[in-house]
Amino acid sequence: MQPALKNRRVVLGLSGGVDSAVAALLLSDAGADVHALHMTNWEDDDGYCTAADDLQDARQVCEQLKIPLHHVNFSKQYRDRVFAYFLAEYRAGRTPNPDVLCNREIKFGVFREHAKRLGGELLATGHYARSQTIDGATALLKAVDRNKDQSYFLHAVSAEALAETVFPLGDLDKAEVRRIARDRGLSIHNKKDSTGICFIGERPFREFLSTYLPANPGVIETPDGVAVGRHSGLMYYTLGQRQGLQIGGRKDAADEPWYVVDKDLERNVLLVAQGETDLLLSNSLIATEASWIGDAPTDLTAGLRCMAKVRYRQADQACTVRQEHATLRVDFETPQRAVAPGQFVVFYAGDRCLGGAAIERIF
């Protein structure tokens, strides 16, 4: 954790979960003047959102730790800056990752601005990541707990924001965080981790998405043009998907599982194939809207050799990244399976996260 916190005001994003609660405890132990800030970003009371319960848990943690709690509503900003993008990506047939925008626009955007109005010198979150100054520049590093590392989702946060951020959990693993919470008597020590869409939570996905985007059912075909079923709407499927196709047990096909291998948006056709097909493998991709932590690497024209992830928790993959006009071309040493346009490719040099970009198309 960043040193020299004694008597400095640190505004912590307190969700009501165990990670941010332990972050608050550690900051208090370090002598910081901790102020907790709880965000409400989704207001629909539909039985799935746990915002009210989370606020009550945050209040209880602050009472236990004797730190002030502030509450702010960013629902409009969330809908305008994150949820609108989420819907637009699904409408375009891609598979979005709203957590990346949620971090850049909300947690390290409007939240950071509000924290400054509260007199915060520093911002803190319960993310599993680390920041460090390397050769005079702020660097984002992977967390010690590789299974919980969240640097993938933080790659679009600016170096300026990271320079003002403390990650108290970056050097801890999840089991130790749980142990600290339990040993120090925090009321939420056994609370389940949040899952699902950022700030919206876990819910029946098709039902939720269909309330915002009209479903457009169509045909499921093989790459040879043989119709094998019907889909409920292309937005409900992603490359590599196996579950929910409802086309198993055909007399004219083998017993191997079916996988989504492509989407034909123009014809509204879902393309599927059986078994571990090469149709799911890609050697290269084109990415747009690159975000670099600090200055862009200087050797992008000649080709930057580094490691990359095309999905969260994927093992690092060796690649070469080249600037091609306004886009990045990424060539992998080993073919990648089920790379989904709309997701992000994130670049690493060892533990250091360099930045990332949105996957536009694959080869």
116-158 pLDDT, tens digit each:
999 999 999 999 999 999 999 999 999 999 999 999 999 999 9
- How far apart are the C-alpha atoms of 309 and 155, rounded to whole Å? 11
Q: Average pLDDT, stretch 85-101? A: 92
Least-confidence region, from 16-30, 148-162, 212-226, 239-253? 239-253
Task: Judge whether 245 and 260 are in contact, CB under 8 Å.
Answer: yes
**Domain that includes residue 240, residue range:** 215-276
Q: Average pLDDT, stretch 239-253? A: 81
pLDDT band per the 50, 70, 90 thresholds, residue 306? very high
pLDDT band per the 50, 70, 90 thresholds, residue 42? confident
Question: 251 and 132 in one domain?
Answer: no
Closest by alpha carbon to 352, among 135, 68, 186, 67?
135
- How far apart are the C-alpha atoms of 302 and 43, rounded to whole Å? 49
Question: 312 and 238 in one domain?
Answer: no
pLDDT band per the 50, 70, 90 thresholds, residue 207? confident
Q: Answer with the one of 138, 168, 183 that is the final residue of a domain.
A: 183
Element (H, E) at 357: strand 352-362
Question: How high is the pLDDT of residue 256?
Answer: 87
- Considering the candidates 49, 198, 306, 353, report the single residue annotated as catalytic: 198
Task: Judge whether 229 and 252 are in contact, CB under 8 Å.
Answer: no
Question: 169 and 45 in one domain?
Answer: yes
Mean pLDDT of the chain: 92
pLDDT at 101 over 80: yes
Question: How high is the pLDDT of residue 202?
Answer: 62
In a domain, 145, yes or no: yes
Task: Judge whether 181 and 171 are in contact, CB under 8 Å.
Answer: no
Question: 266 and 152 in one domain?
Answer: no
Question: 286 and 270 in one domain?
Answer: no
Question: 264 and 315 in one domain?
Answer: no
If you write DSSP's letter for every residue of 281-335 in order, what string do you get?
Answer: EEEEEEEEEEEESSSPPTTTTT-EEEEEESSTTPPPEEEEEEEETTEEEEEEEEE
In a domain, 196, yes or no: no
In a domain, 4, yes or no: no
- 353 carries an active-site annotation: no
pLDDT band per the 50, 70, 90 thresholds, residue 220? very high
Q: Average pLDDT, stretch 285-293? A: 97
Fill in the DSSP letter of residue 102: I
Q: Average pLDDT, stretch 18-34? A: 97
If you write DSSP's letter for every residue of 169-236 in order, what string do you get?
Answer: TTT--HHHHHHHHHHTT-TTTTPPPP-SBTTTBS--HHHHHHTTS----EEEE-TTS-EEEEES-GGG
- How far apart are the C-alpha atoms of 202 and 180, rounded to whole Å? 27
pLDDT at 200 over 70: no
Question: How high is the pLDDT of residue 199?
Answer: 57
In a domain, 113, yes or no: yes
Q: Answer with the one of 227, 246, 276 that is the final residue of a domain.
A: 276
pLDDT at 38 over 80: yes
CATH number at residue 236: 2.30.30.280
pLDDT at 105 over 90: yes
What phi, psi does 345 have (nearest 5°)?
A: -100, 125
In a domain, 242, yes or no: yes
Question: 336 and 269 in one domain?
Answer: no
Q: Average pLDDT, stretch 173-180? A: 96
pLDDT at 212 over 80: yes
Fill in the DSSP letter of residue 360: E
Least-confidence region, from 55-59, 60-64, 251-255? 251-255
Length of the chain: 363
Exposed e or buried b per residue across 47-62, where buried means at least 16 C-beta atoms within 10 angstroms of its C-beta: ebbbbeebbebbbbbb
Q: Total structural domains in the chain?
A: 3
pLDDT band per the 50, 70, 90 thresholds, residue 276? confident
Question: 268 and 292 in one domain?
Answer: no
Least-confidence region, from 36-45, 153-162, 247-256, 322-331? 247-256
If you write DSSP's letter for every residue of 236-261 in order, what string do you get?
Answer: G--TT--TT----S-TTS-SSPEEEE
- Considering the candidates 102, 306, 319, 353, report the single residue annotated as catalytic: 102
Question: 143 and 23 in one domain?
Answer: yes
Question: 119 and 95 in one domain?
Answer: yes
- How far apart are the C-alpha atoms of 87 and 272, rounded to whole Å? 24
In a domain, 331, yes or no: yes
User: Whole-model pTM?
Assistant: 0.93
- 198 carries an active-site annotation: yes
In a domain, 200, yes or no: no
Question: How high is the pLDDT of residue 196?
Answer: 56
Instruction: Report the share of the chain in percent with pLDDT over 90.
Output: 82
Say if residue 113 is exposed, middle or buried (CB neighbours under 10 Å; 0-12, 13-18, 19+): exposed
pLDDT at 47 over 60: no
What phi, psi does 223 have (nearest 5°)?
A: -60, -20
Q: Answer with the one of 241, 258, 276 that is the final residue of a domain.
A: 276
Question: How high is the pLDDT of residue 300?
Answer: 94
Question: How high is the pLDDT of residue 195?
Answer: 58
In a domain, 191, yes or no: no
Question: 302 and 154 in one domain?
Answer: no
CATH number at residue 348: 2.40.30.10
Q: Average pLDDT, stretch 279-289? A: 97
pLDDT band per the 50, 70, 90 thresholds, residue 233? very high
Question: 272 and 289 in one domain?
Answer: no
